[in-house]
């Protein structure tokens, strides 16, 4: 089985026998949904492949290839009357350089338009009777000339635009360098707005019949307002929830095929699926669907490595997704963004919004956000939060989808709190000692001396216990060794932090760890900050308020241990009851595995 990691060419995938998850049964639904459609998904979520699928299905120049490409797929058994009936013009705005001054960006856009239009003229020469004038200095005029030629034929144009919001994404990554430039492109008679006005006009009986746009957020459509206000958004429609992405049964079948081909142990498919579920699953794009979908790029990255080498990839985060951390950093820089981003790390109290904000522009993002819903919605569109049901009031709950995305949050927090090389070097030393021995002493000293000293007080308005848990999560996080689960469901309760050794790393000197956190105030122990700093940890452990908190944590851990051990599987479990006093000192008790 061949896996098309990094390949978005539908014809190549089908023709060369790559793994393909068939979503062609959605084509009739899309035809019924409308003629000008918008579909938003996070980066690297298979949008380009879907556009390539539509291109091959509707292209009148590929009618002779229909049976070869679609005969074995769902739509091939019952094609729609519109199959192979269109001139298709595919555009990809990621090919337009968003840097430089507006004139340079305009020229880049016109250059891309002209290249694609010239290609269309060559491909459809046998059907086009009218002259298509290519205007080197005005790609929009070239587009209008193409529409004029198309309108003289029995056929119409289907326009596909991939990454339509590429210009706005550049502003999100480096807002200090692109804001004014972007505004000039979308306001008044800016180039982007003028292009979409031409698209809107073309669909008014001037040769253009259908449009399908993909992108990450609705920001550009908001910025161009009346320039293109006719697109229907399918992004949260339950019928298209899994239009891009893999379901668990589909991945299970792929894993079964790979493990059989590689002659791996019979249980390896299930173990691999557990790992992929933790790292790549969790995306939900409709509140009316409970099923989660897997990030397809990450899943293919894993499957390709497993199929080629018979082993898991050593790095479960594909470097192509690492830049999404810039999106988290972008929101953190906005007013009130830092606290909201850090709160997202707590699954016990998910962020909630009354509804997703779907009309906002770049200017809204670069000025003071109006509501918390706005900030949380940005994180949702960036793919670093996803839907997690509704709370008691009916508000939409948002949560981090999986371990890969959690790592992006943690790395950002580590860089914020521990930016120096020496801090990271010391952190690595103490956590590796803890991984192998369960010794919390050096780790506790490090957190007291480094983490608590620099963590900004403005971010400590949440509960002390959450701050402590976040500190341990950020310090201990290591997806190369562990499956890290914050708030794991254990029986009738929820643990605070579970570090379960990855199945492919169990042969090494790594222990499993379960930590339970409690917090007590300085007032509860009757000490000043100076007295607290001078008191040995052993003496602090004997203080009544601390001893009571430790006892409560140990009782919880005993119940959780029973649940974990009853679940079977190889565990070398150490449990740790941790009490934080006044966000200054840590006291703990460790119970070793038997």
Q: Kindly give, in sequence order, each residue whose CB lies less than 8 Å from that of residue 524, ignoring residues fewer than 6 positions away.
A: 545
SS3 at position 283: strand
Residue 70 has pLDDT above 90, yes or no: yes
Q: What is the pLDDT of residue 176?
A: 53
The answer to whether the CB of 251 falls within 8 A of the CB of 299 is yes
Contact predicate 280/402, CB 8 Å: yes
**Looking at domain 10-240, which CATH architecture does it have?**
3-Layer(aba) Sandwich (3.40)
The whole-angstrom distance between residue 374's C-alpha and the CA centroid of its chain comes to: 17
Closest by CA to 546, choosing from 527, 525, 530, 532, is: 525
Token couple for 234: 């399918």
pLDDT at 458: 45
Region of 471 please: left (phi>0), alpha (psi -120 to 50) or beta. Answer: alpha
Percentage of the chain surpassing pLDDT 90?
A: 61
As a whole number of angstroms, the distance between CA 28 and CA 230 comes to 20
Residue 462 pLDDT > 50: no
Phi, psi of 77 (to 5 degrees): -80, -25
Q: In this predicted structure, what is the pLDDT of residue 178?
A: 58
Q: CA 451 to CA 414: how far, in whole Å?
A: 9
- Ordered by start, the domain boundaries in the chain are 10-240, 248-314, 315-413, 418-594
Element (H, E) at 148: helix 139-151
Contact present, 516 and 553 (Cβ < 8 Å): yes
Assess whether pLDDT exceeds 80 at residue 578. yes
Q: If you search the block for the tokens 């830092």, which residue do you land on?
A: 338
What average pLDDT does the segment 550-571 reach?
88
- CB-neighbour burial class of residue 442 (10 A; exposed 0-12, middle 13-18, buried 19+): middle
Average model confidence (pLDDT) across the chain: 89
pLDDT of residue 365: 67
For residues 558-583, one letter each, b for 16 or more C-beta atoms within 10 angstroms of the residue's C-beta and e for the rest, the string is eebbeebeeeeeebebbbbbbbbbbb
> Residue 49 — left, alpha, or beta (φ > 0 → left; ψ -120 to 50 → alpha)?
alpha
Name the more confident of 485 and 324: 485
Residue 476 near residue 434, CB atoms below 8 Å: yes
pLDDT tens digits for range 259-294: 999 988 878 899 899 999 999 998 999 999 999 999
Nearest C-alpha neighbor of 337 from the set 282, 402, 295, 382:
382
Instruction: Please give the average per-residue pLDDT across 403-423, as a whole number.
Output: 87
Q: Quick one: 554 exposed, middle or buried, by C-beta within 10 A (0-12, 13-18, 19+)? A: middle
User: Among residues of the chain, what percentage have pLDDT more than 70?
Assistant: 94
Task: Say what the pLDDT of residue 143 is.
Answer: 97
Contact 519, 580 (CB under 8 A): yes
pTM: 0.90
Q: Could you give the CA distance from residue 242 to residue 472 in angstroms, rounded to a whole number?
A: 35
Examine the pLDDT at 140 and tell me if it is beyond 50. yes
Separation between Cα atoms, residue 515 and residue 537, nearest integer Å: 18
Q: Which pLDDT band, with edges at 50, 70 and 90, does 323 fall under?
A: low
The percent helix, strand, coil of the chain (3-state, each to 5) is 50, 15, 35
Top-confidence residue, 452 or 367: 452
Strands 573-581 and 512-520: what pairing? parallel
Residue 301: its pLDDT value, please?
A: 93
Poorest-pLDDT segment among 101-115, 213-227, 300-314: 213-227
Least confident range from 103-117, 410-424, 510-524, 551-565: namely 410-424
For residue 248, give both structure tokens: 């668990």
Nearest to 281 by CA among 311, 246, 230, 310: 246
Distance CA 13, CA 450 (A): 51
Q: What is the pLDDT of residue 571?
A: 86
Predicted confidence band of residue 461 (pLDDT cuts 50, 70, 90): very low
Q: Which of 184-193, 260-269, 276-285, 457-466 has the highest mean pLDDT?
A: 276-285
Token pair, residue 452, equals 């608590």
pLDDT band at 456 (very low <50, low <70, confident <90, very high): very low
Query: CA distances (Å), 578 to each of 130, 303, 431, 466, in order?
Result: 78, 39, 16, 12
Is there a contact between 497 and 473 (Cβ–Cβ < 8 Å)? yes
Q: What is the pLDDT of residue 172?
A: 60
Across 117-121, 270-274, 287-291, 342-346, the highest mean pLDDT is recorded for 117-121
| Cβ pair 452, 481 in contact under 8 A | no
Question: What is the pLDDT at residue 399?
Answer: 94
What pLDDT shows up at residue 335?
78
Per-residue pLDDT band for 352 (boundaries 50, 70, 90) equals very high
Q: For 483-502, what is each residue's pLDDT tens digit?
A: 888 888 888 788 899 999 99
For the residues 557-582, what does the mean pLDDT come to? 89
- pLDDT at 102 > cutoff 90: no
Q: What pLDDT sits at residue 489?
A: 84
Beta pairing class for 86-92 and 156-162: parallel
**Mean pLDDT to the nearest integer, 117-137:** 95
Q: What is the rounded CA–CA span in Å between residue 153 and residue 209? A: 13
Q: Determine the longest span between alpha carbons in the chain, in angstroms.
A: 92
What are the start-end ranges of the E strands in 18-167? 36-40, 86-92, 156-162
**Over residues 88-94, mean pLDDT:** 96
């Amino acid at each position: 089985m061949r896996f098309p990691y990094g390949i978005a060419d539908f014809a190549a995938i089908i023709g060369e026998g790559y793994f393909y998850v068939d979503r062609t049964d959605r084509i009739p639904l899309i035809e019924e949904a409308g003629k000008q459609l918008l579909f938003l998904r996070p980066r690297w979520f298979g949008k380009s492949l879907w556009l390539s699928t539509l291109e091959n299905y509707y292209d009148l120049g590929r009618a002779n290839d229909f049976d070869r490409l679609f005969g074995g797929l769902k739509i091939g058994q019952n094609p729609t009357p519109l199959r192979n009936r269109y001139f298709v013009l595919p555009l990809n705005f990621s090919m337009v350089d968003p840097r430089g001054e507006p004139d340079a960006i305009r020229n880049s856009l016109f250059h891309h338009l002209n290249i694609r239009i010239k290609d269309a003229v060559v491909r459809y020469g046998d059907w086009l009777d009218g002259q298509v004038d290519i205007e080197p200095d005005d790609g929009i005029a070239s587009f209008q000339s193409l529409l004029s030629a198309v309108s003289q034929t029995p056929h119409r144009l289907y326009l596909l635009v991939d990454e339509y919001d590429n210009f706005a994404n550049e502003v999100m990554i480096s807002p200090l360098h692109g804001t004014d430039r972007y505004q000039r492109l979308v306001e008044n008679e800016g180039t982007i707005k003028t292009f979409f006005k031409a698209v809107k006009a073309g669909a008014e009986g001037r040769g253009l019949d259908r449009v399908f746009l993909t992108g990450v957020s609705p920001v550009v459509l908001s910025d161009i307002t009346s320039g293109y206000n006719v697109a229907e958004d399918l992004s949260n429609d339950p019928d298209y929830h899994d239009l891009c992405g893999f379901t668990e049964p589909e991945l299970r079948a792929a894993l079964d095929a790979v493990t059989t081909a590689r002659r791996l142990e019979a249980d390896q498919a299930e173990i691999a699926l557990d790992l992929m579920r933790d790292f790549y699953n969790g995306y939900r794009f409709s509140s009316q669907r409970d099923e989660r979908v897997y990030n397809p790029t990450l899943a293919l990255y894993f499957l390709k490595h497993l199929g080629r080498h018979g082993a898991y990839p050593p790095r479960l985060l594909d470097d192509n997704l690492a830049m999404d951390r810039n999106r988290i950093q972008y929101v953190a820089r906005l007013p009130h963004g830092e606290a909201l981003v850090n709160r997202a790390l707590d699954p016990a109290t998910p962020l909630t919004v009354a509804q997703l904000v779907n009309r906002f522009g770049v200017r809204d993002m670069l000025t003071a956000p109006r509501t918390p819903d706005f900030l949380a919605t940005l994180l949702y569109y960036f793919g670093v939060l996803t839907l997690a049901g509704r709370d008691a009031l009916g508000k939409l709950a948002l949560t981090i989808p999986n371990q890969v995305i959690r790592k992006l949050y943690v790395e950002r927090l580590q860089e914020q709190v521990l930016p120096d090389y020496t801090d990271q070097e010391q952190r690595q030393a103490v956590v590796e000692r803890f991984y192998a021995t369960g010794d919390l002493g050096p780790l506790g000293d490090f957190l007291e001396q480094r983490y608590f000293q620099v963590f900004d007080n403005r971010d400590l308005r949440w509960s002390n216990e959450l701050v402590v848990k976040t500190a341990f999560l950020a310090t201990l996080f290591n997806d190369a060794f562990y499956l890290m689960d914050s708030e794991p469901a254990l029986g009738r309760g929820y643990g605070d932090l579970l570090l379960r050794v990855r199945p492919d790393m169990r042969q090494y000197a790594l222990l499993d760890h379960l930590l339970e956190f409690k917090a007590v105030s300085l007032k509860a122990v009757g000490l000043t900050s100076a007295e607290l700093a001078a008191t040995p940890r052993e003496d602090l452990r004997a203080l009544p308020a601390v001893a009571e908190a430790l006892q409560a944590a140990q009782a919880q851990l005993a119940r959780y241990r029973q649940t974990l051990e009853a679940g079977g599987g190889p565990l070398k479990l150490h449990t740790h009851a941790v009490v934080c006093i006044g966000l200054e000192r840590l006291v703990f008790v460790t119970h070793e595995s038997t």
